[in-house]
Chains A and B, each alone.
Chain A
Amino acid sequence: MLELFGQIEEAVTAIQSQWDKKPHAGIILGTGLGSLVEEIDIELSLDYGEIPNFPESTAASHRGRLVCGELAGLPVVAMEGRFHMYEGYPLKQITLPVRVFKALGAELLVVSNACGGMNPDYQAGDLMVIEDQINLMGDNPLIGINDDRLGPRFPDMCEPYDQALIERAQEVARRENIVLHKGVFVAVAGPNLETRAEYRFLRNIGADVVGMSTVPEVIVAVHCGLRVIGFSIITDMCLADALQPANVEEIIATANEAEPRLRTMVMGVLAGEK
């Protein structure tokens, strides 16, 4: 991990040479959720290729640019499109943007993703605020010699998602009449979706939803000391005994349909930061 410090500095220098504000929050927008960017008063937009050490996003419906500007009256940096383990990137590289957010001065990380719902009380199109997570990716972004300048050797994970922010999100949801579940997100590497037996297993071990992202970014956010709030859009229901073949177009359509509510949630949570 000793190479990261220099890589972060290079990326930060490239961004700061064109945008000199200190962002309050870094935002990661997942599958089908990129249009939250429309709410941002964009002051600078950089393709990932223009930022040193940023990987290129190859996933469907992920754009691949960093947007700097104002959202809900706060300076923010937002990733329109993220990187996944299944694209073949090492977790250290996937999570580099989170460290760049921190180095730019951010205090807060907002993550979003599209996921499969396993809790039978959920419905496709519902939102969930992530209460806790399970890492079943078989990897960890912090493996390697620790750089104490970036964070502790053994980060504690007893509260990876900030409880006060979760409560604020629930308040916003009640006020805006939005269905917002609170649950446990389990991350697997993918890229294949799970078998019925795997869905039963994941449900059994205590997860409410399953996805292929977010967990590495949140581990690194905890490592570098960011407060975290995470939202999942349940884009399809994965009930082992009533499983339908997944349809990527439908999943993206569900994400798009749910997105205005996600925007309301993110704007509401950020408004409480002022």
Chain B
Amino acid sequence: MIEIRPLRPDDDRQAFSSGDADLDRFFRKYAGQNQFRLHIGTTYVAVRDVEILGFATLTATSITIADLPKTARKRLPNYPLPALRLARLAVAESARGQGIGKLLLRTVFNVAHEMAERTGCVAVVVDAKPTAVGFYEQYGFGAFEMISGELGDRPSPIPMILPLGSIPRE
């Protein structure tokens, strides 16, 4: 039985290995303080018994548009658009092919709907690894260009966005 839930302080993160050194370094060393001390992001984990099979790190973000067009100002207020940012997602090498990424993604979509109800959210933004662009495209994500706000990961992630209206409610 696989459970998806927020990371807990006593979860053993050291054994996790996705094969991506940067993602593993983030998860083992910094996902905890991100969540429990700095409160700047929440990591959801896929867990079987006590083994962590994958994780997804989320944070609230806002999208600001330079010089919003007048026509758009009539339709939307001229302030940043709230969104949910899926900054990092990884699946353990030992758990590949079991649909863990899909389970985590579904959780992300449910969190986006919760966020919309509670504080506002118009879209999900993902920082996709270049090799994962196809995975996200099949769910309707489309690439877009940022002026600033990119992650510092290497290779540079591809920013992609999916409107909340394209996500079914559970």
Task: Determine if chain A interacts with chain B.
Answer: no
A residues neighboring B (CB under 8 Å)? none
